[in-house]
Amino acid sequence: MYRFWLDGRDVESENHWYWDWNALPIQYSKWQSGQPDNRFDQDCLSFYTSGEWDDYGCNSRCHAICELEYTDTNGII
């Protein structure tokens, strides 16, 4: 099972999750059972390939997902 970053954080106030890109509160959640546990002060949001969320140490390593705009030679995006 792989883990990926989401753009959420609760670094300002424990368990008050917000999107880092626009600072808005996160309205939806899909926490894994027992999460978020803030273990060793976890303040960044990750998710597993199962789709379940887990708070995770911000300096930890895990996979990233990038969004790219792409247009092929036929103009299809």
What residues make contact with Ca ion under the rule CB under 5 A? 10, 35, 37-38, 42-43, 54-55
DSSP-assigned letter for residue 26: P
Give the nearest distance from C-beta 74 to Ca ion in angstroms. Answer: 45
DSSP-assigned letter for residue 24: P
**Dihedrals φ, ψ of 9, to 5°?**
-145, 155
Closer residue to Ca ion, CB minimum distance, 18 or 35: 35
Closer residue to Ca ion, CB minimum distance, 47 or 54: 54
Closer residue to Ca ion, CB minimum distance, 8 or 54: 54
How far is the C-alpha of 47 from the C-alpha of 19, rounded, in Å? 14
